[in-house]
Amino acid sequence: MRHHIPKEQKILAYKLSCIHGLSNRHVSRYLGISQRTIRRIRKTFRDTGEVGHQPACQGQPCAFDGLEFLEGCIEKQPDMILSELLDSFFFFGKHSTK
Protein backbone atom coordinates (compact mmCIF):
# COMPACT_ATOMS: atom_id res chain seq x y z
CA MET A 1 0.00 0.00 0.00
CA ARG A 2 1.40 3.37 -1.05
CA HIS A 3 1.14 6.43 1.11
CA HIS A 4 2.90 9.77 1.29
CA ILE A 5 5.89 9.91 3.62
CA PRO A 6 6.57 13.45 4.87
CA LYS A 7 9.97 14.95 4.07
CA GLU A 8 10.76 15.25 7.80
CA GLN A 9 10.25 11.50 8.26
CA LYS A 10 12.50 10.77 5.27
CA ILE A 11 15.22 13.00 6.74
CA LEU A 12 14.92 11.18 10.06
CA ALA A 13 15.13 7.80 8.32
CA TYR A 14 18.26 8.93 6.47
CA LYS A 15 19.89 10.26 9.63
CA LEU A 16 19.11 7.15 11.68
CA SER A 17 20.32 4.85 8.94
CA CYS A 18 23.37 6.65 7.58
CA ILE A 19 24.56 8.97 10.30
CA HIS A 20 23.71 7.00 13.45
CA GLY A 21 24.33 3.60 11.84
CA LEU A 22 21.05 1.89 12.73
CA SER A 23 20.14 -1.02 10.49
CA ASN A 24 17.38 -0.58 7.94
CA ARG A 25 15.38 -3.17 9.85
CA HIS A 26 15.51 -1.15 13.08
CA VAL A 27 14.72 2.13 11.32
CA SER A 28 11.85 0.42 9.51
CA ARG A 29 10.34 -0.82 12.76
CA TYR A 30 10.86 2.49 14.54
CA LEU A 31 9.36 4.71 11.80
CA GLY A 32 6.84 2.28 10.33
CA ILE A 33 8.15 2.46 6.78
CA SER A 34 9.48 -0.40 4.68
CA GLN A 35 13.14 -1.29 4.38
CA ARG A 36 12.83 -0.85 0.62
CA THR A 37 11.67 2.74 1.16
CA ILE A 38 14.70 3.39 3.36
CA ARG A 39 16.98 2.02 0.63
CA ARG A 40 15.27 4.31 -1.92
CA ILE A 41 15.67 7.32 0.39
CA ARG A 42 19.40 6.57 0.75
CA LYS A 43 19.83 6.10 -3.02
CA THR A 44 17.93 9.30 -3.79
CA PHE A 45 20.12 11.18 -1.34
CA ARG A 46 23.29 9.76 -2.91
CA ASP A 47 22.08 10.69 -6.40
CA THR A 48 20.55 14.13 -5.75
CA GLY A 49 21.58 15.33 -2.30
CA GLU A 50 17.89 15.39 -1.30
CA VAL A 51 15.81 12.75 0.48
CA GLY A 52 12.92 13.05 -1.99
CA HIS A 53 12.20 14.06 -5.53
CA GLN A 54 10.78 17.51 -6.15
CA PRO A 55 8.37 17.81 -9.06
CA ALA A 56 9.46 20.22 -11.77
CA CYS A 57 6.28 22.22 -11.38
CA GLN A 58 3.23 22.13 -9.14
CA GLY A 59 -0.21 21.49 -10.62
CA GLN A 60 -1.47 21.81 -14.14
CA PRO A 61 -0.48 24.70 -16.34
CA CYS A 62 -3.20 27.23 -17.00
CA ALA A 63 -5.19 26.34 -20.10
CA PHE A 64 -6.79 29.81 -20.39
CA ASP A 65 -5.28 31.73 -23.28
CA GLY A 66 -6.30 35.34 -22.83
CA LEU A 67 -5.27 36.55 -26.28
CA GLU A 68 -7.28 33.87 -28.09
CA PHE A 69 -10.26 34.61 -25.84
CA LEU A 70 -10.16 38.36 -26.59
CA GLU A 71 -9.76 37.71 -30.33
CA GLY A 72 -12.82 35.42 -30.20
CA CYS A 73 -14.86 38.07 -28.39
CA ILE A 74 -13.94 40.68 -31.00
CA GLU A 75 -14.80 38.29 -33.86
CA LYS A 76 -18.21 37.55 -32.30
CA GLN A 77 -19.00 41.14 -31.44
CA PRO A 78 -16.74 43.64 -33.23
CA ASP A 79 -18.43 46.67 -31.66
CA MET A 80 -17.55 45.68 -28.05
CA ILE A 81 -16.05 48.51 -26.06
CA LEU A 82 -12.95 48.03 -23.94
CA SER A 83 -14.80 47.87 -20.61
CA GLU A 84 -17.05 45.07 -21.98
CA LEU A 85 -13.99 43.17 -23.21
CA LEU A 86 -12.33 43.51 -19.81
CA ASP A 87 -15.49 42.41 -17.98
CA SER A 88 -15.77 39.33 -20.21
CA PHE A 89 -12.07 38.59 -19.87
CA PHE A 90 -12.01 38.74 -16.06
CA PHE A 91 -15.31 36.89 -15.66
CA PHE A 92 -14.26 34.06 -17.97
CA GLY A 93 -10.73 33.90 -16.51
CA LYS A 94 -12.13 33.40 -12.99
CA HIS A 95 -14.73 30.83 -14.07
CA SER A 96 -12.70 28.90 -16.64
CA THR A 97 -12.66 25.13 -16.07
CA LYS A 98 -10.22 24.26 -18.85
Write the DSSP string, 31-46.
Answer: HT--HHHHHHHHHHHH
Range of the domain at 12: 7-48
Predicted confidence at residue 57, as pLDDT, reads: 64
Residue 55 domain-assigned (yes or no): no
36 has pLDDT over 90: yes
Residue 2 domain-assigned (yes or no): no
Residue 53 domain-assigned (yes or no): no
94 has pLDDT over 60: no
pLDDT digits (tens, 9 = 90+) for 46-90: 998 888 876 666 666 666 667 777 788 888 888 888 888 778 777
Split into its structural domains, the chain has a count of: 2
CA dist 20 → 13, 24, 33, 72, 89 (Å): 10, 11, 18, 64, 58
1 has pLDDT over 80: no
Residue 59 domain-assigned (yes or no): no
| Separation between Cα atoms, residue 74 and residue 89, nearest integer Å | 11
Predicted confidence at residue 98, as pLDDT, reads: 45
Residue 79 domain-assigned (yes or no): yes
Is 13 found in the same domain as 44? Answer: yes
